[in-house]
Amino acid sequence: MTTSLPPGIQLEKADDRIMTLNVGPQHPGSGHMRLIIKVDGDYIVSCDPDPGYVHRGEEKMAEYRNYIQNIPHLERPIIHDSCNILYPYCLAVEDLLGLEVPERAKYIRVIASELNRCVYTLYWLAIYGIFLGHSTMFMWPMGDREFCIDLLEAMSGARVTHAYFVPGGVRNDVPANFEERCLRQIDYFEKRLKQYEDIFYQNPVLKQRTEGTGVLSRMDAIRLGTTGSVLRSAGVDFDVRKKEPYDVYDNLDFQTQVLKEGDSYARSRVPYLDMLESCRIIKDALKKMPKSGSVRTKLKPNPKGGNEEAYRRVESGRGSLGMYIVSDGKPEPYRVKISVGSFRNLICMPYLLKGEKLGNMPAVYWSLNYWPVEADR
């Protein structure tokens, strides 16, 4: 799991040589979290992740608001992927309230969540690029992200915090010329994505830095319960969209992207391949979407669930995202638990960083597709 150390370095015994570094919580290389790293010279001896700097108690706040009031604040943990965090919430509430979702709304949801996956992944890719010193890779995704943001803005009216999904469908229908506009932009976006391959993924400097660093084996990925791109880059074929299809994903034509290497390079590549699949899904969904119809089931005012619970999950940009809602028959949920991919992937950070060079820390850290705000909730 760890790379072999050069001869002469004995990590455990040389206590007097070990220095403790606090990376974060405001260090740009760690996002809004702290990593307590012990180094021996240039090598990391141990890493203790310390999240919680941006903990906001979303789960507690959800207990004081009813099912509709919860929509805008529950997307705050990950505003760049807001459709995908509201998706499992809406599915779970629909289970509790027994709501049917109109067919057209299901397709609109799929399109919105795939667009949002691209928005998130491009943002993450930009950060990954800049921390590896590749400033073109910061500029390009930030620019191309606007294509998807424009489309989502046309759908929902907001650039980033959409609050577009509601229990029972989506908030409003898409504008009149949306389909041709979406097709045109996705076609162009796909062409742009192919250029990323040449400028970033085939870049020899990037390959040298990321190939073979932070290798996670298949067995460890399963044992540590990782999810999303971390899991799929380690050779485990698991995508919630395929394994437990929600809404209309079982009608759509796409493949799960799996790589075997398990290193930082593979982990950074899986989300990129996912984006190409997202384009396929969006095009297919636009083709199969009913041309007209209702997009939302009317809710009764202050809807109440029974004395039951629901656990639903979707595949977000960072892996499986689950919502566990316990209802006690009141308009407010009794308990909401958000099980996020970032928090689940956090556990492998100490294992991957141990024995790495300190300079490779950002390459490993950001390849985990980790979003501190989401992990803290």
Nearer to another protein, 64 or 188 (CB): 64
260 is an interface residue for another protein by CB under 8 A: no
Question: Which among 111-119, 151-159, 303-311, 355-363 is the span making contact with another protein, rule CB under 8 A?
Answer: 303-311
Cβ–Cβ < 8 Å for 236, 258: yes
Q: What is the DSSP string of 331-343?
A: SS-SEEEEE-HHH
Cα–Cα distance between 230 and 356 in angstroms, integer? 18
Cα–Cα distance between 300 and 309 in angstroms, integer? 20
- For the segment 309-328, give every residue that binds another protein (CB under 8 A): 311, 313, 320, 322, 324, 326
376 is an interface residue for another protein by CB under 8 A: yes
Residues 46-65 as x/- pattern, contact with another protein by CB under 8 A: ----xxx--x-x-xxx--x-
Least CB distance from residue 75 to another protein, whole Å?
19
- For the segment 328-357, give every residue that binds another protein (CB under 8 A): 329, 334-335, 337, 339, 343-344, 346-347
293 is an interface residue for another protein by CB under 8 A: no
- Among 289, 307, 285, smallest CA distance to 241 is for 285
CA 214 from chain center: how many Å?
A: 20
246 is an interface residue for another protein by CB under 8 A: no
Q: CA of 203: how far to CAs of 196, 198, 214, 330, in Å?
A: 10, 7, 19, 56
Helix axes 103-131, 82-97, angle to 10 degrees: 150
Contacts of 122 (CB under 8 A, 6+ apart): 141, 142, 144, 145, 148, 275
Nearer to another protein, 144 or 315 (CB): 315
Give the footprint of another protein on this chain (CB under 8 A): 50-52, 55, 57, 59-61, 64, 97-99, 222-225, 231, 236, 238, 243-244, 304, 306-308, 311, 313, 320, 322, 324, 326, 329, 334-335, 337, 339, 343-344, 346-347, 376-377
